[in-house]
Structure formats: C-alpha cells, structure tokens
Amino acid sequence: MPLAPRKPLTDFFLRGAWVGILWGWATLGINALTGAFVTEHPLASNLVMFGAGGLLTGMFVAGLMGLLGERRVYGSLWLTALALSAGTWLALRLAGVALTFSDPRRYHPDGPQSAQGLALALGLGVMLAAATRFFPPCKRY
Amino acid sequence: MRDTPELIGMENTVDTKMEQIQTGAVSLRGIGIALLMAMLFGGMVVAEYGLDGVVPGAHDGMHDYRHANGMPCH
C-alpha cells in the first residue's frame, strides 16, 4: 500500500500561512478604508495581531482544502475555497450569536462589521484559491 | 535460483511488516495533522472571542482584529 503523498498537504499549510498573513494585513487596510471599526491600537501592534489572526485562519482553511484533496464543491477549486472560508467564518459567527444571547450587553452584534467580516472571509477564499491555482502543490519539487 | 517455500514465506513476512510500518506512518501523520488542525482552530477561537482565560491578554490584543472581522465584542 503506497503512502499518501506528504508534500502537497505541507504545501497547503505553508501557503495558508503566507496567504493568511497577507489577508490579515489586507483586513487591516480594508477596515481602515471602510471605517467599519475605528481601531484602538497602534499600527505596529495591529500589524502583528492581524498578521497572527490571519496566519491562524489562513492555515486552518488551507488545511481543510488540503484534507479535502480532489473532493471539491461542484468540482471547482474557487467554490471550495469560498465555501470553506465563509463556512469557517459563519461557524464562528454563529457561536458569537450564542455569546450575544448569553450576554447581550457585552457581546452586542454590529451589522456593518459582520457584513465586512463575511466579505473578508470570502476574500480569503479568493486569495487561497488564487494561490493554489497559481502555486499548485508540488510544482517546484 | 528458484524461490523455495521458505523464501516465499520470508517475502510475505517482509511485505506484511512493510505494510504495518506504512500503515503506522500514515496513522501517526493523521494524528499529527488532526492535532495541528485542532490547535489552529483553538487559536482561532481564542483570537475571535478574546479568551483571556486561555491566553492572557488575548482579549485586548486581538480586540481590533475581532471587530474588523465582525465578531461580537463589548
């Protein structure tokens, strides 16, 4: 029985890491443009924190893409990346709704920020799909 | 040289051992991947909800990131 190929999944995680960091920084820039939330921390601190958040999210979604392998939504890499990215955000957001129910005063929802979050999640999906499309696994090995 | 029954038996044993090693390697890799995914998901949850109880300073540190991504906050 042959071993499963090792490098492609590693590739997905690595790709998710750098795409995630770029996405995190893009999130910071887009948020500044839309003004959905006026940031409270200095830019240097936010660059680190948004980069770290993007790293985690990017690696997680890319890892899911790698684990799915060739099983794709309607056979499309783009739809799969969008579905996984938006699905991950939606799952976290739904858990946030539970927090809102438990403590509405502290965890109050914000429409524009939520819309921006969903749009950014879709943006992460596009970025991951584009990176996978143009930097396919094992191409350089 | 023709393969004697002993040699054929030895080949089978080697094949079985290789299969066990390979199966074991896949399982260990699977556990590693599962652990990594669980850690990444845990990190995301800590970041998105600012769970200070898990990582002190997470709430304040990731505050702007949380709002920018539309997660409920104070």
Can you tell me the ipTM of this complex?
A: 0.85
* B3: number of Cβ within 10 Å: 10
Each residue of B26-71: pLDDT tens digit? Answer: 678 888 889 999 999 999 999 888 888 888 888 888 999 999 999 8
Which of A41, A88, A90, A120 to mutate to probe the B interface, most B CBs <10 Å? A41
Whether residue A11 contacts residue A138, with contact meaning beta carbons closer than 8 Å, is answered with: yes
Identity of the residue in B48, B61, B70 whose CB atom sits nearest the CB atom of A110? B70
Distance of CA A105 to the CA centre of its chain: 28
Give the residue from A21, A4, A1, A136 showing the smallest Cα distance to A67: A4
Q: Facing residues of A138 across strands?
A: none
Q: Across all residues in chain B, what is the average pLDDT?
A: 77
Give the residue from A23, A11, A103 showing the smallest Cα distance to A58: A23
Burial label, A1 (beta-carbon count in 10 A; 0-12, 13-18, 19+): exposed
Whether residue B53 contacts residue B46, with contact meaning beta carbons closer than 8 Å, is answered with: no
Note whether B23 contacts A60, CB cutoff 8 Å: no
Identity of the residue in A37, A67, A121 whose CB atom sits nearest the CB atom of B67? A37
Identity of the residue in B44, B61, B69 whose CB atom sits nearest the CB atom of A120? B69
Each residue of A41-78: pLDDT tens digit? Answer: 999 999 999 999 999 999 999 999 999 888 888 888 99
What are the chain A neighbours of B63 within 8 Å (beta carbons)?
40-41
CA distance B39 to chain A (A): 9
What are the chain A neighbours of B59 within 8 Å (beta carbons)?
none
User: Which 8-state DSSP code applies to residue B3?
Assistant: P
Each residue of A83-123: pLDDT tens digit? Answer: 999 999 999 999 888 888 887 777 777 888 999 999 999 99
Whether residue A59 contacts residue B40, with contact meaning beta carbons closer than 8 Å, is answered with: yes
Task: Please report the pLDDT score of residue A3 as a whole number.
Answer: 47
